[in-house]
Structure 1
Amino acid sequence: MARPIKHPKPRLDLEAEALTALEKARALPHGPERTEAMKRAGILRNAADMHGLLFAKRGTPLKT
C-alpha cells in the first residue's frame, strides 16, 4: 500500500527545484558526485511530472 503524502509540494516548486538541481549537477566535474546529482535531478523531474497526474481533476484538460 502506498504511503499517503502529508504535505505535497506544488508542481511549479518541484519543477523549479528540479531545474536548479540539474544546473548544479551540470556544473560539477565528471565523477561519482556529478552522477548522484544528475540522478537526484532526474528524480525531482519525475516527481514534478507525476504530480500533474496524481493531482489532476477528472474531465479537465492538462495544463501546459
Structure 2
Amino acid sequence: MARPIKNPRPKLDLETEALAALEAARTMAPGPERTEAMKRAGILQNAVDMQGMLFAKRGRPPKA
C-alpha cells in the first residue's frame, strides 16, 4: 500500500523542475556531481510519470 503524500506538488511545477534539472545536469562536466544531478532529474521524471504526465522518448511517437 502506498503511503499518502501530505502536500502533493502541482504537476506542471514538477514537470518544469524535472526538465530544468535534466538540462542543468546535461551541461555539467562528467564527474560525481553530474551523476548525482542526473539521478535527481530521473527521480523527478519518475514522480511526474506517476502523476500521469509522460515524457516522450526521442524518435518515438507518444504512447496512446
Alignment TM-score, normalising by the size of structure 1: 0.74
- Give, as a single letter, the amino acid of the residue that structure 1 aligns with 2:48: A
- Give, as a single letter, the amino acid of the residue that structure 2 aligns with 1:52: G
Q: Residues 17-59 of structure 1, C-alpha deviation per residue, up to 9 Å, x if partnerless? A: 0001011101110011101100100110010010128xxxxxx
Unaligned 5+ runs, structure 2:
54-64
Deviation, 1:2, is 2.9
- The answer on 1:35 being equivalent to 2:41 is no
Aligned length: 53
- Alignment partners' CA distance in 2, 1:47 and 1:2: 14
RMSD: 1.4
- Give, as a single letter, the amino acid of the residue that structure 1 aligns with 2:39: K
| Structure 1 segments (4+ residues) deviating >2 Å | none
Q: Which structure has the bigger radius of gyration?
A: 1
- The answer on 1:20 being equivalent to 2:13 is no
- Give, as a single letter, the amino acid of the residue that structure 2 aligns with 1:34: R
Q: 1:1-64, aligned counterparts within 5 Å?
A: 1-52=1-52
Matched residues, percent identical? 74
Unaligned 5+ runs, structure 1:
54-64
- Alignment partners' CA distance in 2, 1:20 and 1:14: 10
